Amino acid sequence: MLPRLIANCRLPIADLMRPLIAQIGNRQLAIGNVRLGPMFGTIGILTGGGDAPGLNAVIRAVVKTATCEHGMRVIGIEDGFEGLLGPTRTRLLSPSDVRGLLPRGGTILGTRNRGQFVERACEGTDRDVESVYQEAISNMKIVGIDALVVLGGEGTLTIANEFDKRGIPVCGVPKTIDNDLACTELTFGFVTALDIATEALDRLHTTAESHDRVMILEVMGRHAGWIALHSGIAGGADVILIPEIPFSLEVVAEKIRSRDVSGSNFSIIVVAEGALEIGHELVYQDKGDAHHAPRLGGIGQHLQQDLERVTGRETRCVVLGHLQRGGRPNAFDRMLATNYGSAAVRAISKGESGVMVALQAGDVVTVPLTEAIKGIKTVPPDGQLVRTARDTGISFGAADEGRYHKSQ
Ligand code: F6P
């Protein structure tokens, strides 16, 4: 392919071709009767929503693949889509700018949870909403960005899809520690968060056992129980409480009592921030508004007080919070993030748009963005992992929990 030839040629030819590539934009290029596929001169990359381990590894892979293999330029957009508004905040990213990024947590580009796209969509008229997209698109033209690679979860990718609808080539990369994006088996960042939660459970085990206490670990995950389920199994929890299976306080208390009777005088509970007690409402730290996203949290504290009251057992709660998001990605997330980043550039260079790279049956493929943002991926309550957890003695505190456990 021509971009490849240009890239492999270390002469200034790549620079000479750039204005041509920029002019061609996303149109098909033909030399004689050889069709060369859509070509883009410059990819804009941004990170949106909450950070997750592996963001920098994706940025690195995108820059290396785009510049070294496809002869494209990469422009980093700061603070999510916000960097495309007003006085734009963008910077050219070369391979030397991404050196050493593989193990680095956070995002060198900055990120925002809620920005003007969401705020104007919540508060404004359709015209206000359209004007914000048009402002961003005209700024992209001024800066010279032809296509976007967007690293984000469901909210960020919903905005990305709006750019695709307005003719901007877009490829999404699935990011979130919650692992709740549809159409992909894994989002990058999840497995690192899982390691952190599992280590916390290991540490809680020794102190719980020493003091004969009930220890509760509250983990993130929004309205999906993936972090709680996976870490609960990996960390040997006695009770896992997830949004997908509403729990009864009495059933959880009974599990603790039955452990006491069997000689285990301590118990470990992992509770997802979005877990729901039957007959109660979700527990929020902040219900949010147009400027702030709602923040779940606090269910662990409630559970601690209620369990202490009904069981009479000394109980403590630890909220793991943002420790799940900060710091170095583990080896798996570095690999997955790199694979996603390179695949995103390949998709853009082939002329795909309105897609998200996704992991399916071990391979990175592309799926329509519209499918990925249709709804979140939650834990199937009758799925294999829940079954395995129950088979190994873990209770989900369901009203009918007893029918899954022969020993109860
Ligand atoms: O989506 C990632 C996530 O960490 C959720 O698990 C959590 O509910 C939320 O973000 C916390 O957001 P913030 O960083 O705004 O507190």
Q: How confident is the model at residue 118 (pLDDT cuts 50, 70, 90)?
A: confident
* Most distant pair of Cα atoms in the chain: their distance: 83
**pLDDT value at 25 more than 80:** no
**pLDDT value at 113 more than 90:** no
Whether ligand 1 lies within 6 angstroms of the CB of 221 is answered as yes
Q: Are 39 and 71 in contact (CB under 8 A)?
A: no
Contacts of 226 (CB under 8 A, 6+ apart): 178, 179, 180, 190, 379
Specify the residue with its C-alpha closest to ligand 1, atom 10.
Answer: 50
Specify the residue with its C-alpha closest to ligand 1, atom 14.
Answer: 50
The alpha carbon of 286 and the centre of ligand 1 are apart by a number of angstroms equal to 12
Q: In this predicted model, what pLDDT tens digit does every residue of 371-391 receive, in sequence order?
A: 999 999 999 999 999 999 999
Catalytic-labelled residue, pool 178, 180, 238, 333: 178
The alpha carbon of 50 and the centre of ligand 1 are apart by a number of angstroms equal to 6
Query: Ligand 1, residues 107, 178, 181, 296: which to mutate, most atoms within 8 A of Cβ?
Result: 178
More confident position, 274 or 406: 274
**Phi, psi (degrees; rounded to nearest 5) at 187:** -100, 150
Q: Which domains does the chain have, with CATH numbers?
A: 17-188+329-372 (3.40.50.450), 191-326+379-404 (3.40.50.460)
Alpha helices in 144-215 (DSSP H): 154-165, 190-211
Percentage with pLDDT > 70 across the chain:
88
Q: How confident is the model at residue 19 (pLDDT cuts 50, 70, 90)?
A: very low
Q: In this predicted model, what pLDDT tens digit does every residue of 234-272 receive, in sequence order?
A: 999 999 999 999 999 999 999 999 999 999 999 999 999
In single-letter form, the type of residue at position 87 comes to P
Contacts of 403 (CB under 8 A, 6+ apart): none
Instruction: Tell me the sheet residues that pair with 77.
Output: 90
- Token pair, residue 239, equals 């009770």
Of 18, 58, 60, 64, the closest CA to residue 42 belongs to 18
Least confident among 28-37, 168-177, 204-213: 28-37
Q: Which atom of ligand 1 is nearest to the CA of 273?
A: 8
CA distance 111 to 118: 14
**Phi, psi (degrees; rounded to nearest 5) at 152:** -170, 175
Q: Which atom of ligand 1 is nearest to the CA of 153?
A: 1
Q: In the 8-state DSSP scheme, what is residue 66?
A: I
Q: In the 8-state DSSP scheme, what is residue 282?
A: P
Q: What is the mean pLDDT of residues 27-39?
A: 43
Contacts of 306 (CB under 8 A, 6+ apart): 249
The pTM of the full predicted model, rounded to 2 decimals, is: 0.90
**pLDDT value at 31 more than 50:** no
